[in-house]
A and B are shown apart, each in its own frame.
Chain A
Amino acid sequence: MKRRKIDLAQAPVNFAKGADDRFQGATPLRGLLNKVFPDHWSFLLGEIALFSFIVLLGSGVFLTLFFDPSMKEVAYDGEYLALKGTMMSAAYESSLNLSFEVRGGLFMRQMHHWAALLFMASILVHMARVFFTGAFRKPREINWVIGVLLFLLGFFAGFTGYSLPDDGLSGTGLRIASAIMLTLPIIGTWLSASIFGGEFPGELIIGRFYIAHVLLIPGILLALIAAHLGIVFKQKHTQWPGPLRTNENVVGERMFPRYAMKQGGFFMAVFGVIALMAGLFQINPIWLFGPYRAAEVSSASQPDFYVMFMDGLVRLMPNWQIYIPIGNGYSIPPMFWPAVVGLGALFTLPMAYPWLEARKLKDKRSHHLLERPRDNPERVGIGMMAFTFFMVATISGSNDVISDKFHISLNAMTWAGRIGLLILPPLAYYISVRICLGLQQHDRQVLAHGVETGIIKRLPNGQFVEIHQPLGPVDDHGHPIPLEYAGWVVPKKMNRIGALAPAIKGFFFPVEKPAEIPVSPAVGGAVKREEIKSGR
């Protein structure tokens, strides 16, 4: 027999050769290892959503091993004394058993719920970042639309999940969902009867929501998340303007090892925060809610926070019913407007925004450099207007809790919400636009006159003036030559331009190559302004 020669050191090399023979992966792999990602804290907000989605998938699979999506009536005979003998659906019973009779089951349930809240919260924060920095502009409009769809899907994933335990609170939510379906003109009753399999609540809805919650919605979410990331990867991430940074390059770190390590570490941190919250804060104590009974309800019945804006709009809606006197008479209940039209508008308008803005600005260029919020006051105003609207609606969604805990009349809260919903958004628009313009002007002033040094000089005529340190070269009279705004942070304190010790040591290493676009051509100025690449 021939002795086989095995050289262990050569094994990986041979393996790699074999792999490349078959898949020709060497060049693309090198490209992947070398791909450059820009580095800014705000670029990590979307990652929180991605990582909590991974936690959601993992903990969700665990929960399905014990959950029974059946509405069959059973008598509870578990360890939780205060419900012993109570008639309940098998879904609720299995949720209780999952919480009390599965080792660590309650912890997993709470992780799943906190991860869901974190998923939706980080999507909101990430959306705000993308919006206010103009990252949705061409060529990234489609990814913005996918992002809005992800929020919408998360909304439905959250609502179906909230309904599954079939406890008192989720049944109340289902009842409202059925009522919302009923408000649809013409098809309302048909839609509700079809989805619930007859009259509310029927015996099918938990099973149907279950398959939607564990298969359909996560499937679409997964596909859209993959598309979202794929497009980011293909189009390369946006970056802030600054030295060396142009619309045609990406300045940052190579993906491996540093960027990948940061991602891995951040995943652990997100996972850790979810686990910590799941252990510290009790969430959705279904055992207190009891099984769903149509006659039982609790004060402070609210949906999870990302549905609360809709509930708030429903609460604020005046009782305006439209009667159509044809035949027996038809009606459009008031809930139709906030819950169906409002929800639709709140998702379609943001989706259309990138095109609306481009149309208004007649802007057809591709943008890879972000815009500082202050440089587009109009957009900030619109964003703040939408945000204020959302916040007033969300706060109104828990107006009963607020009025109870802060001793405000419930009726006064409702009226405050109604008025606030109309008055505060335009006010927010006006204030934020003014703030943006003010910040812009201050930037321009510093560029033109220099940084305030804090040194007061007395002129021969007795006048006091403050000495300004010019940021760029000066003319023959010692007056600064005005610099052009570069779309990035203007140093406004002496320690930012090296005149004093930097506030943070070892913050930035000087680079030799002066910036081309869009940094000002003033050479001296460019070198000094590099001190400020900090980002904050």
Chain B
Amino acid sequence: MTSDTPARRRGRVFSRRRGAPGRARRRLGAAVRMLAALALAGGVYTAFTPGAFAEDNVQLSAVAQEGKALYDTSCISCHGRDGQGVTERGPSLIGVGSASVEFQVGTGRMPMTRQEAQAEEKPPQFDKAQTEQLAQYVQELGGGPEIPDGPLVADIDTDPEALARGGELFRVNCTSCHGFGGGGGALSSGKFAPALHDPTAEELYAAMLTGPQNMPVFGDNQLTPEQKKQIITYIKFQLQEEKDPGGLFNLGRYGPSTEGMAIFLVGITLLVFTSLWIAGKS
């Protein structure tokens, strides 16, 4: 959940309320108020189960209010009211967490333009602030994984082993779909694992944590935050920033496919033209 205490959050809500109250606000139930009060008093506002807040509604922070406004214009048609999901159209967003929103919306995958095998990356429709608002809203809807604060990339000057350990983890967990060189790869029936050349550390972290699309989830018990940071360190330093030492062009690091094309398009072509010149009369 958020780090705000409910009291502060409520204060902000009241002080910054404007315009017509949202539908959700109108439906604020007494039970929720009660629960919030209990939590405030007892400080045990920790236990929650996904879906517990689905029916009712929490009091939303101001940021989440903004997010909700965006949600109700752009997301609601597929994910339904209050993120409950629409059968055959969009999954429920209860419990997916802000990390998921930051990944899906931040990389432009959501909102989708049409129903297809896999949401494709495109220029994001919302700016950073709007994405955060949406994320905050979904987070407050039903909790879920969040991207931690602080640096997500290890400092390889102080922790030089992080790179090698990240590499090992990368090869066990990631290469089967994203490839040794991070070039991505095909999955069944038109789905694919995207290339890892562009994503930011936050996106990488969010993807591991939430398992977007067909990517498996790597929860914190499986890959500790420390290990996730090591993997990100490897991707950032070795796959994104590192200049390939073996040539000016790395042929996309796709291996033999592009190498085979290069030998015909460059090697054989150059030499056939050379032999044409040699044998040509002059």
Contact = CB atoms under 8 A, between A and B. Distances in A.
Interface residues of A, number: 80
Contacts of B168: 86, 290
A169 B184 contact: no
Interface stretch (B43-51, B126-134, B157-165): B157-165
- Chain A interface mostly: helix
Q: Which of B160, B250, B258, B259 has the most CB of A within 10 A?
A: B259
A381 interface: no
Contact of A507 (B177, B190, B262, B281): B281
Contacts of B183: 300
Given A48-B271, A122-B268, A410-B188, A84 B164 contact: yes
B244 A282 contact: yes
Contacts of A269: 271, 274
Nearest to B237: A82
A117 B257 CA distance: 12
Interface in B145-172: 156, 160-161, 163-168, 171-172
A411 B248 CA distance: 34
Contact of B246 (A285, A299, A301, A302): A285
A116 to B, nearest CB: 9
Q: Which of A85, A282, A304, A407 has the most CB of B within 10 A?
A: A282
Contact of B257 (A48, A266, A300, A508): A300
B189 interface: yes
A384 B238 CA distance: 44
Contact of A117 (B193, B260, B281): B260
A226 interface: no
Contacts, number: 224
Q: Which of A42, A82, A168, A274 has the most CB of B within 10 A?
A: A82
Contacts of A83: 164, 167
Nearest to A306: B260
B275 interface: yes
A522 interface: no
Contacts of A466: none
A283 B179 CA distance: 16
Given A299-B186, A304-B256, A401-B254, A266 B275 contact: yes
B267 interface: yes
B192 interface: yes
A82 B238 contact: yes
A288 B271 contact: no
Contacts of B276: 41, 536
B268 A410 contact: no
Nearest to A113: B259
B256 A403 contact: no
Interface in A402-451: 402-404, 407-412
Contact of A290 (B117, B180, B237, B251): B180
B175 A296 contact: yes
Contacts of B163: 81-82, 84
Question: Which size bracket describes the interface of B in this complex?
Answer: 35 or more
Interface string A267-285: 0011001100111111111
Contacts of A479: none
Contacts of B164: 81-86
B253 interface: yes
Nearest to B248: A280
A401 B257 CA distance: 8
B224 to A, nearest CB: 19
A165 B209 CA distance: 35
A85 B159 CA distance: 13
Q: Which of A117, A274, A508 has the most CB of B within 10 A?
A: A117
A534 interface: yes
Contacts of A355: none
B178 interface: yes
A298 B264 CA distance: 25
A392 to B, nearest CB: 15
Contacts of A506: 281-282
A338 B38 CA distance: 70
B271 A273 contact: yes
Given A82-B163, A106-B245, A400-B186, A298 B279 contact: no
Interface string A292-309: 010111111111111010
Nearest to A278: B247
Contact of A41 (B250, B264, B275): B275
Contact of B167 (A265, A290, A299): A290
Interface in A297-342: 297-306, 308
A123 to B, nearest CB: 11
A411 B189 contact: yes
Given A82-B167, A82-B237, A295-B172, A404 B259 contact: no
A494 interface: no
B259 A284 contact: yes
A302 B261 CA distance: 13
Interface string B209-245: 0000000000000000000000000100111000011
A227 to B, nearest CB: 24
Contacts of B165: 85
A289 interface: yes
Contacts of A407: 190, 192
B193 A121 contact: no
A114 interface: yes
Contacts of A114: 263, 267
A410 B175 CA distance: 18
A412 B178 CA distance: 21
Given A296-B171, A300-B254, A84 B179 contact: no
B278 A290 contact: no
Q: Which of A280, A303, A507 has the most CB of B within 10 A?
A: A280
A125 interface: yes
A524 to B, nearest CB: 24
Nearest to B182: A288
A110 B244 CA distance: 13
A95 to B, nearest CB: 13
B28 interface: no
Contact of A280 (B117, B190, B247): B247
15 contacts: A43-B279, A48-B268, A86-B164, A86-B168, A118-B263, A168-B175, A277-B266, A279-B248, A283-B247, A283-B259, A289-B180, A297-B176, A300-B183, A300-B257, A407-B190
Given A302-B255, A305-B256, 16 more contacts: A44-B279, A82-B238, A114-B263, A269-B271, A274-B267, A282-B244, A282-B246, A288-B181, A290-B168, A290-B180, A299-B175, A299-B177, A300-B183, A303-B256, A305-B261, A308-B256
